[in-house]
Amino acid sequence: NAALDGLAWRRRAQGLVATSVAWGAWADSGMGAAQRQLPGMPPELAVAALQQSLVEDETALMIADVEWSSFGSRFTAVRPSPLLSELLPLATTPMEPVEELATRLRDMSRLERDRAVLELVRAQVAAVLGHAKPASVDPSRTFQEVGFDSLTAVELRNRLATATGVPFPASVIFDYPTPAALADHVRTRFVPDEGEDGAGGGTTSVLAELTRLEAALSDLSPTDMAGAEVAAKIKSLLSHWGAATNSDIEVDSATDEEMFDLLGKEFGIS
């Protein structure tokens, strides 16, 4: 397409006629294009668009049917796009605060909690795949089986982070390869499993607090003044508690950057 665009512009510069068209998907062109939020165009619609471009004497253009809301979120999953930001609708659904979601899940029974988190995950998976209903997502099928790749993995990660208020690594669907496994992981981020002896109340409470700390730290830079104060406080806590003896980093002598790196390794903060 770039070569044809260049040829078209060169002919225009010479006073000659030329129109270069980058085509989107046509109808019956396969599922791949649809999963990229480029639905197949009916042939009569595509030909009519071509005729209009010739009438308007365009030099280079693209003719495609684009689902902008879905295409935009996927295209900008890794990095923002100044061009698409002007075309995409503004997000209107605020994410649920992590504290509220954690409280709501803790108030449920284990069965209700598992069902609620699984439905949340299935809804996000369905949105990424372009399915109309979350029920169409089989919890036992792997993400690879249903067509996920590195780009859609990042999109799902971003959707989960927005829906839960908790950051996840881009590799989360590879670490938890089915919706069921991912839902179980998401649940434990809010309500960790109790110990085998059943006396996990204190541990559960501490881990829940660490989950909230993790969410707060994800927006904090270790180079900020506040970040330095937080790092110093964490050093003090770890030193007094004695849990850092198994770490490769000596807490007393660790720099702020090393402390944040340690937290990233322990809690998956990136």
Report, as an integer, the average pLDDT of 8-12.
Answer: 91
Residues 179, 107 within the same domain: yes
Number of domains the chain is built from:
3
Report, as an integer, the average pLDDT of 131-138.
Answer: 89
Backbone φ/ψ region at 69: left (φ over 0), alpha (ψ -120 to 50), beta: alpha
> Does some domain include residue 90?
no
Q: How far apart are CA 18 and CA 10, in angstroms?
A: 9
| The two structure tokens encoding residue 2 | 């770039």
> Does some domain include residue 47?
yes
Query: Residue 40's pLDDT is what?
Result: 78
> Does some domain include residue 26?
yes
Q: Is 206 helix (H, G, I), strand (E, B) or coil?
A: helix
Residues 59, 105 within the same domain: no
**Nearest one of 186, 183, 222 to 98, comparing CA atoms:** 186
Report, as an integer, the average pLDDT of 186-204.
Answer: 63
pLDDT, one tens digit per residue, over 31-88 is 444 455 567 788 888 899 888 988 889 899 888 887 766 666 656 555 565 656 656 5
C-alpha distance from residue 34 to each of 49, 74, 121, 149 (Å)? 20, 13, 21, 15
pLDDT surpasses 70 at 269: no
> Does some domain include residue 166?
yes
Residues 102, 179 within the same domain: yes
> Does some domain include residue 82?
no
Top mean pLDDT of 84-98, 142-156, 213-227 is at: 142-156
C-alpha distance from residue 5 to each of 15, 21, 54, 84 (Å)? 15, 8, 15, 21
Do 101 and 165 touch, CB atoms closer than 8 A?
A: yes
pTM score over 0.85: no
Q: How far apart are CA 211 and CA 192, in angstroms?
A: 10
Query: Residue 178's pLDDT is what?
Result: 94
Q: How far apart are CA 212 and CA 226, in angstroms?
A: 17
Domain boundary among 44, 66, 88: 66
Question: How large is the angle between the packed helices 98-106 and 110-129, nearest 10 degrees?
Answer: 130
pLDDT tier at 126 (50, 70, 90 boundaries)? very high
Domain boundary among 151, 170, 190: 190
Sorted by sequence, the CB contacts under 8 Å of residue 228 that are 6+ apart come out as 222, 256
Least confident stretch, 22-31, 83-92, 223-232:
83-92
> Does some domain include residue 103?
yes
Q: How far apart are CA 29 and CA 161, in angstroms?
A: 33
Backbone φ/ψ region at 198: left (φ over 0), alpha (ψ -120 to 50), beta: left
Print the domain residue range for 243: 220-267
Q: How far apart are CA 62 and CA 53, in angstroms?
A: 10
> Does some domain include residue 14?
yes
Q: Is 6 helix (H, G, I), strand (E, B) or coil?
A: helix
**Rg over CA atoms, the chain:** 25
> Does some domain include residue 251?
yes
Q: How far apart are CA 64 and CA 22, in angstroms?
A: 8
CATH number reported for the structural domain that contains residue 174 in this entry: 1.10.1200.10
Task: Count Cα neighbours of 144 within 13 Å in the Cβ-side half-sphere.
Answer: 6
Domain boundary among 190, 212, 243: 190
Residues 162, 107 within the same domain: yes
Residues 53, 107 within the same domain: no
Residues 50, 10 within the same domain: yes
Residues 115, 61 within the same domain: no
